[in-house]
Amino acid sequence: MTTPHQSRADRRRATEARILAGARELFAERGFDRTTIRAVATAAGVDPALVMQYFGSKRELFTRAVQAFPAPPAPGGADALVDQLLATLGLKLGGLPEGTLAMMRSMLTDPAAAEQAREALGRQIDGIGAALSAADDPELRAALVITTLLGVTIGHQLLGLPALRDAPADRIAALLRPAVEALTEPGPSCGPRRPTA
């Protein structure tokens, strides 16, 4: 079973990685509350007490399992940013990191996860807001861009809405592009619709 000869440190790292992998998977599909340390231990082929010994508490395990959340905030300049956002969304619609899914899954019911999510999303918003400083209300626009993408991701990955599940990722990205551009561009949309409501 276990590869025959490896140092103690190697074994430790290996089982720690197995525990973290199991934790990420379970946190991602069941959320914080419904994921038991016992289940994580079983998934890792290990005794529950060992998980405690390694991570101290369920909270700490969650934090460690999720800490890869802060994806790159946003380097680009103007509307290449839109390309980038849609690319990461499009490509990863089928493959978001499990830590991110775990975070999103738990952020509405676990206050600590909510705080972590607020910080991570805030970083992204700040990054995008900086790139949008040409427009009015850049922060608000950035927040709307991020929450829009968040909503689509939730509907797609976490809720599994059929209308989104059945659509190819690049089609979603293509339809989303003008909407995101409309959020980032200062002027009125285009065709003379109506001034205000």
Partner DNA sequence: ACTTTCGGTCAACGGCCGTAGAGTTAAACG
Partner DNA sequence: CGTTTAACTCTACGGCCGTTGACCGAAAGT
Residues found near its own copies in the complex (CB under 8 A): 30-34, 79, 83, 86-87, 104-109, 114, 117-118, 121-122, 125, 129, 137, 139-144, 146-152, 154-156, 158-164, 167, 171-183, 188-191, 193, 196-197
What's 46's DSSP letter? S
Nearer to its own copies, 58 or 141 (CB): 141
Q: Which does 13 bind (CB under 5 to 8 A by kind): DNA, its own copies, none?
A: none
Write out the two tokens for 190. 């285009």
Binding to DNA (CB under 7 A) within 21-80 occurs at 35-39, 45-50, 52-53, 56-59
Quick count: other Cβ atoms within 10 Å of Cβ 188? 12
Binding test (CB under 7 A) with DNA, winner from 11, 118, 165, 171: 11
Q: Which does 79 bind (CB under 5 to 8 A by kind): DNA, its own copies, none?
A: its own copies
Please tell me the distance from the alpha carbon of residue 108 to that of residue 87, in angstroms, as a whole number.
26
Write out the two tokens for 54. 């390694």
**80 torsion bin: left (phi>0), alpha (psi -120 to 50), beta (else):** alpha
Nearer to its own copies, 99 or 129 (CB): 129
DSSP, collapsed to helix, strand or coil, labels residue 112 as helix
Please tell me the distance from the alpha carbon of residue 47 to that of residue 22, in angstroms, as a whole number.
13
